């Protein structure tokens, strides 16, 4: 099995590249991994959110504990930039002090990602909502692969610039 993770030689002798350092995260365990990572963020958090809800009257929810961790990271000086698909969400986040932009009205931002310190990337199907983190079947990948994180940071910055230009 470990040889498969390092590279697979097909029938023609061609070897596929090794599997990058990733972890598949299914369903409800998503925030169990993500919230501590946010609490340990040192310099930056970037978030692409198709749907992000705040549940101020339900502080016991895992998603609200995550929300509070992001807010606390911002308050301790971590740069938090958020791109959303929803103008109202973007305005609500900006009112809380987040650097938040709405991608525009002519395209859909369906990306769901969080990158921490440009060296840990979560990308997948999880929205930042109560149902996505407690009821739905969801799958996301966490990766610390350097090249993948570099490429995603470049992608995020491109989207950020597009959102500011619109």
pLDDT of residue 18: 53
For the sheet with 113-116, list strands across it.
22-26, 139-143, 120-124, 113-116, 44-49, 79-84, 99-102
Alpha helix (H) residue ranges in 18-77: 30-39, 62-75
Closest CA to 113 of 153, 73, 78, 86: 153
Q: What would the mean pLDDT of 41-57 be, rounded to a whole number?
A: 94
28 — pLDDT class (breaks 50, 70, 90): confident
Q: What would the mean pLDDT of 126-135 be, rounded to a whole number?
A: 89
DSSP 8-state assignment for residue 28: G
């Amino acid at each position: 099995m470990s040889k498969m993770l390092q590279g697979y030689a097909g029938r023609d002798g061609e070897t596929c590249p090794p599997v990058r350092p990733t972890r598949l995260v299914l369903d409800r365990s998503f925030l169990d991994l993500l919230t501590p990572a946010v609490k340990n963020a040192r310099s930056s958090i970037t978030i692409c959110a198709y749907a992000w809800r705040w549940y101020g009257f339900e502080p016991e929810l895992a998603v609200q504990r995550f929300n509070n961790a992001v807010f606390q990271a911002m308050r301790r000086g971590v740069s938090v930039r958020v791109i959303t698909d929803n103008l109202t969400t973007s305005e609500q986040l900006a009112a809380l002090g987040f650097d938040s932009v709405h991608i525009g009205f002519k395209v859909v931002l369906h990306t769901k990602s969080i990158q921490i310190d440009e060296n840990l990337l979560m990308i997948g199907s999880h929205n930042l909502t109560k149902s996505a983190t407690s009821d739905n079947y969801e799958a996301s990948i966490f990766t610390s692969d350097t090249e993948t994180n570099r490429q995603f940071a470049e992608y995020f910055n491109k989207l950020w610039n597009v959102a500011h230009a619109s």
